[in-house]
Amino acid sequence: MFAVHLLSFYFSKLKEDQIKKVDRFLYAMRLSDDQLLDISARFRAEMEKGLNGESNPTAAVKMLPTHVLSTPDGSEKGEFLALDLGGSRFKVLQVKVSEDGKQKVEMESQTYPIPEETVNGRGTDLFNHVAESLKDFMQKNHINQKKKPLGFTFSFPCRQSKLDEGVLLSWSKNYKARGVQGANVVESLRQAIARAGGMDVEVLALVNDTVGTMMTCGYDDQHCEVGVIVGTGTNACYMEELRHIDLVEGDEGRMCINTEWGAFGDDGSLDDFITDFDREIDAASINPGKQLFEKMVSGMYMGELVRLILLKMTKQGLLFEGRASEALRTKGKFQTKHVALIEKYKEGLKNTRDILQDLGLNPSEDDCVAVQHVCTIVSFRSANLCAAALAAILTRLRENRKQKTLRTTVGVDGTVYRTHPQYPKRLHKVVRRLVPECHVRFVLSESGSGKGAAMVTAVAQRLVAQRGEIDSTLAPFALTQQQLQGVRDRMRAGLERGLRKDTHGTASVKMLPSYVYRTPDGTENGKYLALDLGGTNFRVLVVKIRSGLRKSVRMYNKIYAIPLEIMQGTGEELFDHIVQCISDFLDYMGMKNTCLPLGFTFSFPCRQTGIDKGTLVSWTKGFKATDCEGNDVVDMLREAIKRRNEFELDIVAVVNDTVGTMMTCAYEDPECEIGLIAGTGSNVCYMEEMRNIETVEGDEGRMCVNTEWGGLGENGSLEDIRTKYDREVDEGSLNVGKQRFEKMTSGMYLGEIVRQILTDLTRRGLLFRGHITECLKTRGIFETKFLSQIESDRLALLQVRSILKNLGLDSTCDDSIIVKEVCGAVSRRAAQLCGAGMAAVVEKIRENRGLDHLNITVGVDGTLYKLHPHFSGILKDTVRELAPKCDVTFVLSEDGSGKGAALITAVARGEI
């Protein structure tokens, strides 16, 4: 028993000594976490160089765009052919992808050998061999009934300008076929297929094997956005934000980048980590100075690296009593598969002895221990280096998303990863240690990169089909110049109908006289009270106007909420609430006993018979208070003040918010004779010639007319441009059939139009994986402010996804792009329609005045105009195109229509 323990102690001591001996000899290959983090940081810097347009030509890590814009979402379907060329064998596959409630992939494949003379011969012979193999496979499997889409996995560095085009940059993995480098390999394949004849195929996608691996795993795990190969060669790809890729146009969405990380270090950035053994490997390779990282990591070189180390240790008398065999001196005799066998958990030492004996060596027990440890160090360094570079990619993904933690999946393939017993565990462990903030799942690609090529082709087909459906859905929102001219002309006709006495009663554009006869001239003076009611908030103001050289307007105000139950209760309740707010404000200002002249901004259609008389025509913007329509709102306000019996007010003017906006801007700019509101509602007012206003007596001078242009289309004049989504929004509104132009242009409805489109696209499986959430079913949940946020140029898609997530919509990057596109189509049409309407107004003013050219200013207010990043620009462009004889300046109203109400009151009082 003692002898057994003694032997066990002796063997463990022997093993320890041998390990220390190897560690000392290979100390440069043992990398600490600090060194790995340093390598990771260097790789990140190389990624930046490769993505940057200026530094890419000289970058070692090429960061090649693949034009693969999306990972699988599970809805892919169809039958595809795939070719997989990248090693000593070549594979042809038929892949059937079905989506009958559950994702299913069926594959048939055949592997064809590639003779060495073909690999090293002419490029045309190589592609002829590929085409003939494809033909053989198709004939055996009876695949010639109809045209088949084909994906081509080509595992060599290519520069792609589109998905079905790729120029070979350089051969690797011992391929040397002449005349291919610098050529488009897809075209070479197409020509070879044509020469072979008898095949009806369409090459749709060129795919790197790493990309194929990511796509294969991505079909089963939609979190997969990284692909890694550790086999004969090594490489990685990942989904990068398009805005960071200088080599391709566009900022929206993501694209898979083939890093070609095997070339990391070719520019000297890894020189302090490269050992003499690595240099010897490199010098003896077919591409010295190239693919240095690959030569430290991949299976093509790992066995040879071990052989060189063992040979040197033998020469120094550290192994095999200093006696090397002929096989140990022969390049390629020690293979990477031997490394895997030697590192097996239980059989490792036995395998070591057998392999060494096959190499003509007579190893002792301590030789076997030492050789096993050499293999461990070489393969562990490979896993460490791979982990360091992968950690850089994961960190970049996390930072791209601005997330503290990242959850993602890495798809992996390659013989080293598959067959080496320790490699996956080591790689996973080191990655998790280097980037603890990244929660990474590693998935082995079960079906290889051929399936991935089919998946890329399937995704490309899906995207083309989706693009067609989305384009057709949004096409009605893209108004032509002719359609916009038609809207302009209909608006012009609507203005004329509203002004004429005989048609005014039936006109959809009401053209309501405001009894405001002039704009401010700078002589206005005094202190005024103003009320501003037009939405869910109600504002009470004191406005102090001073004239003279230092004219100024100072305002003090308080904002009060109008609860929904008040908006849609009785008229008496609404006006009692308004008076209660006024009472609170007067208390706040200490003005209960002061009777100031008051201007009342009331932002709803009113028929006025005087400056202080306004009969409500109809509620808009969600108001539904009863017993108000057909009644004078000034009288209703006076009655409510009487009921409260706390204070008196001198109500001088009732004002539409559009008129208030015009007056506010006109105080600063005398050329301002038009007011525009582009916010919750949409409306325009302008200074019309009295002779044209048949509903008011008098022919001299001008009067401001409140067009109430939101009613355009109530007579059916806009049916040719209204979409089914506009009709759905109208049918769900409080005033069905009314304010049709407003429902296509104003903030109250644009978000709901977008929601209707998103719901339809989701129902058709084009968005959110076809899953209609309760949130998406909720009317009004998609507010117009989201359009402004989503369309902001400064906002990354990641933030768009965050907005959608807050709405309960779990979106992919592709979903976010589509949502942004939908928002853009809806808001662009709204701005163009407003521009067409404005063109009608300015042209009318120009013709009224008999001018060849009109210079005029428009005062504008409203959240849509103020906050939407593109609305104002599109509006101005449309006016410029449709009214070329008018030079229109738009001035934003900074102080709102409350100040305008006070100015109208001052103008009406004529105080100096």
Which residues belong to the active site? 539, 603, 657
Cα separations in angstroms, 800 against 54, 761, 786, 788: 29, 18, 9, 11
Expressed in percent and rounded to 5, the helix, strand and coil fractions of the chain are 50, 20, 30
SS3 428: helix
| 792 burial level (CB within 10 Å; 0-12, 13-18, 19+) | middle
Q: Which amino acid is at 291?
A: Q
Tell me the C-alpha distance between 373 and 816, whole Å: 51
Cα separations in angstroms, 624 against 616, 621, 737, 753, 799: 12, 9, 16, 22, 37
Q: How many CA atoms lie within 13 A of 883 on its CB side?
A: 32
- Residues whose CB is less than 8 angstroms from the CB of residue 715 and which lie 6 or more positions away in sequence, other chains included: 506, 508
Degrees to nearest 5, angle at CA 619 with 618 and 620: 120
The residue with tokens 């509620």 is 619
- Residues whose CB is less than 8 angstroms from the CB of residue 201 and which lie 6 or more positions away in sequence, other chains included: 81, 134, 147, 148, 149, 150, 193
Tell me the C-alpha distance between 858 and 892, whole Å: 8
Cα separations in angstroms, 385 against 262, 392, 408, 498, 508: 11, 11, 20, 78, 73
User: Which of 595, 554, 599 has its CA nearest to residue 908?
Assistant: 599
- DSSP secondary structure letters along 85-107: ESSSEEEEEEEEEEESSSEEEEE
Q: Which residues pair with 203 in a beta bridge?
A: 150
Would you say 299 and 331 are in contact if contact means Cβ atoms under 8 Å apart?
no
The residue with tokens 């994906």 is 151
User: Which of 225, 95, 226, 207 has its CA nearest to residue 162?
Assistant: 207
